[in-house]
Amino acid sequence: MKIKLLISILSLFFLLNLNTFSQNTLKEQDKILKGLIRDLHNTMDENETFKMYYNSYETKYKFRDYDGALSDINKLVAINSKVLILFELRGNIYIKRKLFDAALLDFNKVIDEKPNFVTYYNRGTLKDLLKDHDGAIQDYNKSIALNPKFAACYFNRGNSLLIKKDYDGAISDYQTAIKLKPDYRKAKEQLQKAEKEKSAKAVNSAGFSEEITQDLDKAIELNPDFDEAYLLRAEEKRKLKDFSGAISDFSKAINLNPNNAKAYHERAKIKYYNMQKTEEACADWKKASELGHSAAKLWYNDECK
């Protein structure tokens, strides 16, 4: 799976010009990202040497002279290390040269000083390259929390989840990415792949799901107030296409923990896709979104309004 970084000034301007921010994060993220770009341009206007090296960096990077580009970035940092976006750009060059530890340090510096959804996304892609998929998912989660309509981040997180064989999570992320960007060809291809792998696993493990369900039956019998057990059993029943049973268990999990946003979201998907109960599904998505489930909010806005 190809991982793509968002690092160029042009990419940042493109992101800023899109109305993709939630109301809660709009002002802060807009301020941070525009501030990073403004600091760069102000320094270029004030310092001709800085401007010369930056233009040189852009040319060398464009023609894949990464060693030359790195040399220029290092000179820019030496001139003014307060221009934080330089560390974002240098981190990308380090990745091109497979200097992953150095790239991680640069992304960490940006996040420590000016946390933003772009750098969390870029650090997530780096962690994926380092095979730290759990760490990557954590960074993608933070990026999505800051910008819940960031399609590329759902796509990358879906890829990480697919590697971990979390097929339902990957499928949900690819579907969300496609909702946000209907012409997202790669997301559609990965969605098909995830669905095929999930189907193949279901064929091979139907008996195993039955055994898991039986084990969960025993766990619930011993502790009938264990809401996570109902949630897990609902997932297994869904794999077995026992949709009514899955709905029942999601409902029991909700009764035990009314703040379980995931249970509302997953119950909504079954009601919508497998039972054609759109009104009930929308009620569940609305409740899940009120509890802070970002994907549920997108589904509610797209399917129910």
Tens-digit pLDDT profile for residues 22-47: 455 657 877 888 888 899 999 999 99
Q: Is the pTM above the cut of 0.75? A: no
- Residue corresponding to tokens 């990957």: 170
Report whether pLDDT(112) > 70: yes
- Tell me what pLDDT residue 125 has: 94
- Tell me what pLDDT residue 204 has: 53
Rounded Cα–Cα distance for residues 187 and 162 (Å): 12
- The token pair at 147 is 């910008």
- Tell me what pLDDT residue 297 has: 85
Rounded Cα–Cα distance for residues 287 and 265 (Å): 8
- The token pair at 236 is 């297994």
CB atoms under 10 Å from CB of 3, counted, come to: 16
Q: Residue-wise over 9-19: b if at least 16 C-beta within 10 A, else e?
A: beebeebeeee
Q: Residue-wise over 76-87: b if at least 16 C-beta within 10 A, else e?
A: bbeeeeebbbbb
- Tell me what pLDDT residue 10 has: 42
Rounded Cα–Cα distance for residues 266 and 283 (Å): 12
Rounded to the nearest 5 percent, the helix, strand and coil shares of the chain are: 80, 0, 20
- Tell me what pLDDT residue 2 has: 41
**Per-residue confidence at 20, pLDDT binned at 50, 70, 90?**
very low
More confident residue, 170 or 298: 170
Domains of the chain and any CATH numbers: 9-164 (1.25.40.10), 188-303 (1.25.40.10)
Rounded Cα–Cα distance for residues 46 and 50 (Å): 8
The per-type count for the chain, helices as H runs and strands as E runs, is 16, 0
CA angle 119/56/76 to nearest 5° reads 55
